[in-house]
A and B are shown apart, each in its own frame.
Chain A
Amino acid sequence: MNAESTTVDLEQLRAAIAEVLELDPAEVTDDAHFVRDLGGDSLLALEMQIVLETQYGVRLTEDDLGEATSLRGMYELVLKKTAAG
C-alpha cells in the first residue's frame, strides 16, 4: 500500500459525493443507494466520476461506477484504485 491511499478519507468522500448530489453529507449514509435512495441518475454518476477522478487522481471506468452504488462501495473502489497507484 503506498502513501497516497491514506489520503482517502471516508468523510471527505462523503462530502464530495454529497456535493455532486446536492445533499447534506449526513444524508449520504454508508449504504444508501445513489440512484434508488439519493436521486442519482446516469448523468450524476458521470459527474461523480469526473469529480472523484480529479480529487483522487485515479481513473474510474464507467463499469466501476456501475458497481460502486453506495458510499461504502465507492470508498472501497477509490481505496483500491489509489493503492494500485
Chain B
Amino acid sequence: MEKDQHTHIVKYKTYLYVLIALLIMTFISVAVTGIDLGPYTVTAALLLASFKSILVLLIFMHLKFDKKFYGIMVASVFLLLACVIVITFMDYLYR
C-alpha cells in the first residue's frame, strides 16, 4: 500500500452537476446526428464522448485528486488513442 494514500470525499452536489453535464452531452450527441456535418459527424461524436469520459475519469474515478503521475499516464493513453483515430480517418476523409 502506498504510504501517502489518502481518501478524498467529493460532495454529492458535485456528482449531481457531473451527472447533469453528462446527460446534457448525451442529448447533444443525439441531436448532432440530425445535423449534416458530412465526414465530421464522427469527429463531433468522438469529441463529445471524450468530454464525457474526461469528466468520469476526473470526478467519478478521482483522477483529479490522485497523484499527477497517474493523470499523465491516462492522458498519454488518450493521446495515443487520439493519434490512432486521426490516422485512421486520414483514410476515410481523403478516400
Asked if chains A and B come from one complex, the reply is: no
Give residues in A with beta carbon < 8 Å to B.
none
Give residues in B with beta carbon < 8 Å to A.
none
